[in-house]
Structure 1
Amino acid sequence: MESTGGNARGRRVTLAVVAIAFFGFVARIAFLGDRIAHWDEARVAYWVLNYADTGTFEYQPIIHGPFLQQVNHLVFELVGANDFTMRLVVALLGAALPLAALLFRKRLSGAETVAFALFLAVDPILLYYSRFMRSDLPLAVFMLFALGFLIRALDTHRPRYVHLGVVALALAFTTKENVLVYLVTWLGALVLLVDHRLLVERGLWFDPRAAARNRIKTLGPALRAWIPHVLLAVVEFLVVVVYFYAPRTGADGGPGFDKLLADPTLLPAVVGEATVGSWNAFFTQWVSGDSQDHAYLPYLGDLVETLVVGSGALLVLALVGFLVDRYSENPRDLVAFAFYWGFVSVLGYPIITDIMAPWATVHAVVPLMLPAATGAAVLYERGTTALAHDHRPAVAAALVIALLVVGQMGYIGVENVYLDDQSESNALVQYAQPADDLRPTIEDMAAVSATNRGTDVLLYGDFLVSNTSGSREPKCSEWFNLLPLPWYMDAHDMNVSCARDPSAFEDRLNESNPPVVIGLSTDSEFLAANLEGYDERAYVLRTQDTAKTNTTFFVDESRLSRNATEQSNP
């Protein structure tokens, strides 16, 4: 394929990709903090705050890799903790994703490169989960850049791309454990490509062993020249992994990354904990457990449904692009590799995921965008050819297909990403997303807690209140049932107490007279009878299980107005 770099056309392609990336940046930053935190976002964000408060950190595979915890820890210290800053790093990585298209430009046409970047910027699934604080999008970003840098190294023979690729791969290992799945799918795609080359292109009587010996003999001297770079790359990989995975022990005992300057002799123990210790924790949680013990077809159906709704046009273009390239005079390994990678991901993720989750589709749509870009380029080239020859039916057909693609992506992007980003009917929304906008009440809770003395929030009922003291704040709560509220309570330093039954509720109410009381809506009649003058506000904390998570907040609005007056007249 003709290179798009080093000439005027190449510069135009580069400028177009940069402009697309800027558009993607704006699309991700706009209204980034508006959506109330998802259960999973709040869980990880709470642990980031806990890390900031205590100075202690250890890898917990149940919340996946440490990348977001380590990076958001710095973000929160610099610019504060809220829903916007919580999602900022993921949004920035998602905005950078279209730039990865430039790494493949020697193997793609200018139209394909621009189309690839455009899909990476505006695909509704990627756009939604670029605005979501979870590790799936960062993993996909780092792995696409890693592949791009390594291919760029093959195309240019410049060692710096190997080092950049290894750093990107190491960062991918810090995001989420299914980075291993990427490596498996890459290996499988390579096997298919090798099989195609050996048995189809060179005939059935081709001797693969002789070909392998000749290739090794040819590549041997070149590989020896790269040995120093490979050794350095191994060191780079370990440095990144150890930095992110190593525990921080703070004031507690034990080896920690934060204690290395004071005691360098701890380095072997820290490296061991960051590597072997983390692997053991991962294996215990995700390999030896039974979290993936579920029926396959329902999970496959859920994933395919999300793909069709969010990226249906892209799937069609990917199939068209793969078939057109596959049966062309010069089929390209890159297009076939990306299609195999995406196709295997569609079939494989329903096996390894522990819950039905729309974010798993991220790992399939990213590779499928490359053959989709080929399909889009075919559409563009045939449309322009038809226009040049005044072939009106062909021009009309190309325009109709283009409008259908743009219309599907544009409508789903606007509706499902911005206008209706919390609804159960939205296929991109995972079921643990609060169905209602709690923002006004969260802001009222934060405002009253800023000046209130004593208990700010009282939790009521055995669904929200534990009968034992836990390790997470609020310690008296059934913490997982209360999510995403603990994130907001901790971020705004709210003083929370609990009452599990009516007797305890009356005692707490008389003792502290809290300005905010929270209980399930099934208890709202009892609570309302005891909270005269409080404003009653009902919300659903999950898009599913609404009967269980329909929650009522009682807010003493007179306390709000009183606090506002005190703040305006200090």
Structure 2
Amino acid sequence: MATSSGVLPVLKNTRRRVSSWARSDEYATIKLVVGVTLLALVLRLVSLGQRVAHFDEGRVAYWAWHFGDTGSFAYRYIIHGPFIQHVDRWLFAVIGPSDFAMRLPVAVIGGLMPLIALLFRRHLRRTEVVAVALLLAVNPVLLYYSRFMRSDVLVAAFMFAAFGFLVRFYDTRKPRYLYAVAFFMALGFASKENALVYVLTWLGATGLLLAKVLVLPNGFRDAVLFVTDTPSAGEIRDRVVGRVRGDIALVVETVRSFRARHDSPLGVFGIYVGHVALGVVLFAAVSLFFYAPRGAGVAGIQHPPAPPSAGSVGFWEGVTNPALFGEMLQTTVDRVVNQWGEWLNPASEKTLDDYERHLGVFVKAMAYASAPLTAFAGLGYVLDRLGYTAPRHLVPFLFYGGFVSIFGYPLGTDIGAPWIVTHAVVPLAVPAGVALAAVFRWGVESLSTDDETGVAIAAVVFLLLTVLVANVAVTRVYTNTTADSNELVQFAQPDQSVRQALTEMDRVATAHDGGPDVVVYHGESGDAYDDNNAYVEESRDTWDDAWWNLQPTCLEWHNTLPLPWYFAASDANVACENQETALGVRAMQNQPPIVITQVYDSTVPRERLRSAGYTNESYMMRTSGYKNTFTVWTHEEYADNATVE
């Protein structure tokens, strides 16, 4: 008790000082949210380039590099939205291609996401705004995938910002917010196609919200009273009639209120229609900038790539020459319609087992990496519905959107991956912030009344929350980032030990001159050849054939990802080999610095490589499967001077 008596005065004094500062500084909330945002940026930028690139990261990074290397770009839905390719292309030109550079845009935009909480400040208390910002900053799912070069965090941030500006327009009726909505929606659609799902989610949540307002305006209390009173048939009829009359009166009063506030309602409506039309133009302009082809367009990304001057009308040609603008616009629209049509085409082979598997991945990742936020989101919704906090439409709206996402995204995705949890976590952060702030306020109120038990309970809740989040962040975001046991890791992730080989390859490519820097070998053929795992094309006749300009074309390119990204970033000279004898001759005579083979390949001349002066280390290209292990053979002449990170 003595200890408690000594702690409470200190806490009370701290509370008085903080409350005094918050009351005297009208920008206190903004300053706190900015501080949280700076924390979010630091958490995302520290050791950003350490983890080895995932399959998807390597694939998209390669095409961003290809854009910068050739000057040609064309939208392909399989790479997702063009936003990251444009931004990374510019970054690579400034600071060079690297894992840090390719992830930097996602890290920065993910780190700035807590600022979006300020857009809801008319609907949330100051403590709730800060709580929402804090959850967006430290949630482990958002942390991990803000340090991952995929567009899920990008589309989540841009569409959440667009929604926030839509709320600001509702609050203020100022048209400038409509333009912000258009701008951020355009960025969202340029980031990833599932921006469309956000719009559908908003429409669905709006329907549920209207049902709540018109049917259960007082939340759960209406439903509870309706059941507990065991009404008669006449009472049920009277209640329904009364509810309908009340809803009609609500609509009539809303219309009258609008007419009373505006001298010319039709004129005001016309003005807003004009602003919406200009917003659509802004959306189209930003979208055109990102989606329009560059250089030789599609021909420039096919093999062999056409030069940028091959005759395609790209964005800059169209905007600088009015005579070509129509052709550029038509080319862009046709390409977008074609690619979006393919993306929207449902996979006919998808089964209930696929959905259950994808849902299982989603729920597992959410349970292990986002359990506190999910639990607090449910609590925040219940508090709102029961009236323990001031009922606000924003809270159930975003809870509906997040809750539906849990079941909707596994249905719409073709890959069961934990990154889709991002799209549920972001909207759920608002009801979760409401609950977190409520616990904080209850603790403060207990402190003001010397309720030691209440203070202790609130302190324990915050301590447990901090420990849980910190533990997941440390063990899932900053360590074990490629381990199969990590619920946030998707199976196409190479083991972190591959970094050593990649560092050596980069050093060799820089220092070595003359002949291939790397020789990739696979010698199986006939029935033993595995298209899904082999690194080298079986037939030498197809080594120079490819539809897209996937360099080196002799590789089974997608089986080797993310190695092609590292080959490109290191400017490595890569050759292929599929004959055991020929590889032995290369090893004895030409002695390429690095040879890459596969452990399951029975034709690898291991002893000849060792006798030629090669040492070897094996690594996992994926998190599981014996065929996903590859071996890097380094010649002693180069290995002696290698530096290992």
TM-score (norm. length: structure 1): 0.93
Please tell me whether residue 273 in structure 1 is matched to residue 341 in structure 2: no
Q: Map 1:148-187; keep pairs closer than 5 Å.
A: 148-187=164-203
1:459 alignment partner AA: V
| Residue matched to 1:199 | 215
- Rounded to whole Å, the distance in 2 between the matches of 1:562 and 1:124 is 39
2:206 to 162, 185, 190: 190
TM superposition shift of 1:326: 1.3
1:378-410 CA-to-partner distances (Å, cap 9, x unmatched) read 111111112222222222222222222111111
| Residue matched to 2:635 | 556
- The 3-state SS of whatever aligns with 2:600 is helix
2:630 alignment partner AA: T
1:43 alignment partner AA: R
1:246 alignment partner AA: A
- Rounded to whole Å, the distance in 2 between the matches of 1:198 and 1:187 is 16
- The 3-state SS of whatever aligns with 2:575 is strand
Please tell me whether residue 322 in structure 1 is matched to residue 322 in structure 2: no
1:310-340 CA-to-partner distances (Å, cap 9, x unmatched) read 1101111111111001111741100000100
Q: Which runs of 5+ in 2 are unaligned?
A: 1-21, 219-238, 260-264, 297-307, 525-533
1:109 to 125, 132, 138: 125
TM superposition shift of 1:210: 7.4
- Rounded to whole Å, the distance in 2 between the matches of 1:400 and 1:169 is 41
- Rounded to whole Å, the distance in 1 between the matches of 2:322 and 2:287 is 18
| Residue matched to 1:455 | 516
Q: Map 1:305-454; keep pairs closer than 5 Å.
A: 305-328=364-387, 330-452=390-512, 453-454=514-515
1:255-297 CA-to-partner distances (Å, cap 9, x unmatched) read 2213225643222232233234212212124424447555222
- Rounded to whole Å, the distance in 2 between the matches of 1:496 and 1:264 is 44
1:183 alignment partner AA: V
Aligned residues: 559
TM superposition shift of 1:195: 1.1
Please tell me whether residue 300 in structure 1 is matched to residue 359 in structure 2: yes
Please tell me whether residue 490 in structure 1 is matched to residue 568 in structure 2: yes
| Residue matched to 1:568 | none
1:516 alignment partner AA: I
1:255 and 1:266 in contact (8 A); partners too: yes
- Rounded to whole Å, the distance in 1 between the matches of 2:188 and 2:554 is 37
| Residue matched to 1:234 | 280
TM superposition shift of 1:504: 3.7
TM superposition shift of 1:78: 1.3
1:35 and 1:421 in contact (8 A); partners too: yes
TM-score (norm. length: structure 2): 0.83
- Rounded to whole Å, the distance in 2 between the matches of 1:501 and 1:229 is 67
- The 3-state SS of whatever aligns with 1:427 is coil
1:544-566 CA-to-partner distances (Å, cap 9, x unmatched) read 22x011111001132255799xx
Sequence identity percentage: 39
- Rounded to whole Å, the distance in 1 between the matches of 2:248 and 2:642 is 81
2:609 alignment partner AA: L
Answer with 80-89 or 449-458: which moved more: 449-458
| Residue matched to 2:115 | 99
Q: Which one has the largest radius of gyration?
A: 2
| Residue matched to 1:479 | 557
Q: Which runs of 5+ in 1 are unaligned?
A: 1-5, 565-570
1:459-503 CA-to-partner distances (Å, cap 9, x unmatched) read 111511013223311111110111111001011111111112313
TM superposition shift of 1:514: 0.8
- Rounded to whole Å, the distance in 2 between the matches of 1:63 and 1:415 is 30
1:158-187 CA-to-partner distances (Å, cap 9, x unmatched) read 222111121001100101111111111111
1:318 and 1:372 in contact (8 A); partners too: yes
| Residue matched to 2:584 | 506
1:282 alignment partner AA: W
Answer with 461-470 or 220-229: which moved more: 220-229
- Rounded to whole Å, the distance in 2 between the matches of 1:527 and 1:408 is 50
1:292 and 1:353 in contact (8 A); partners too: no
1:405/1:251 CA distance change after superposition, 3 Å = same
TM superposition shift of 1:507: 4.6
1:135 and 1:176 in contact (8 A); partners too: yes
Answer with 257-266 or 329-338: which moved more: 257-266
- Rounded to whole Å, the distance in 1 between the matches of 2:133 and 2:35 is 10
- Rounded to whole Å, the distance in 2 between the matches of 1:557 and 1:150 is 62
- The 3-state SS of whatever aligns with 2:416 is coil
